[in-house]
């Protein structure tokens, strides 16, 4: 593991690559890729907000730098001292690459987990609540057991 440029430079560069890759897709996946790319830009945006600078202006400058065809802007991130952009690698604003990889992987995993909750199977019986309500026994309406209480205590 080495170091990578900080100040949101990595997030902006990954975001740029994802936006370019999204153009090669024509299905819904294009929307998902673009949304992920936009989500990565939260890091430099928050850095600007925390430092008291106009995030929209700084992000536009960063996008412009990272869009350079020769790749000369790939290390540019937020300059919290001036409110502009700077080559964060040259300015000694570094982050451990392992930490950055773990952060992106963890955030991606969390997003996938949240999205998987939305992929529920529809049960036609559950469309009408009256039809799907099973007959419940006494003692709290849970068939003799409270919610999540296991078997109960033996006497």
Over residues 66-101, the pLDDT tens digits come to 999 999 999 999 999 999 999 999 999 999 999 999
Whether pLDDT at 135 is above 80: no
Q: Which helix (H) or strand (E) holds 115?
A: helix 97-118
Angle, to 10 degrees, between the axis of helix 9-22 and the axis of helix 42-51?
140
Angle, to 10 degrees, between the axis of helix 97-118 and the axis of helix 29-40?
140
Instruction: DSSP letter for 125, please.
Output: G
3-state secondary structure of 24: coil
Q: Which helix (H) or strand (E) holds 85?
A: strand 84-87
The confidence score (pLDDT) of residue 122 equals: 46
57: which 2 tokens? 């202006």
The confidence score (pLDDT) of residue 154 equals: 59
**Spatial separation of the C-alpha atoms in residues 36 and 49, rounded to whole Å:** 20
Q: Average pLDDT, whole number, for the chain?
A: 85
Residues whose CB falls within 8 Å of the CB of residue 44, separated by 6 or more in sequence, listed in order: 7, 8, 11, 12, 55, 58, 59, 62, 77, 78
Query: Is the model more confident about 128 or about 15?
Result: 15
91: which 2 tokens? 């300015």
Distance set, CA 56 to CA 7, 53, 61, 77, 83 (Å): 15, 9, 9, 14, 11
**Spatial separation of the C-alpha atoms in residues 8 and 47, rounded to whole Å:** 8
Work out the angle at residue 112's Cα, subtended by the Cα atoms of residues 111 and 115, and round it to the nearest 5 degrees: 90
């Amino acid at each position: 593991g080495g170091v990578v440029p900080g100040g949101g430079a990595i997030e902006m560069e990954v975001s740029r690559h994802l936006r370019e890759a999204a153009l090669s897709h024509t299905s819904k996946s294009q929307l998902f890729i673009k949304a992920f790319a936009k989500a990565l830009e939260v890091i430099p945006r928050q850095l600007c907000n925390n430092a008291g600078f106009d995030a929209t202006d700084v992000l536009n400058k960063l996008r412009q730098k990272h869009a350079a065809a020769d790749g000369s802007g790939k290390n540019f991130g937020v300059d919290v001292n001036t409110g502009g952009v700077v080559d964060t690698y040259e300015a000694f604003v570094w982050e451990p690459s392992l930490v950055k990889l773990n952060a992106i992987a963890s955030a991606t995993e969390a997003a996938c987990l949240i999205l998987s909750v939305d992929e529920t199977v529809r049960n036609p019986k559950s469309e009408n609540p009256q039809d799907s309500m099973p007959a419940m026994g006494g003692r709290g309406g849970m068939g003799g057991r409270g919610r999540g209480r296991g078997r109960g205590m033996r006497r």
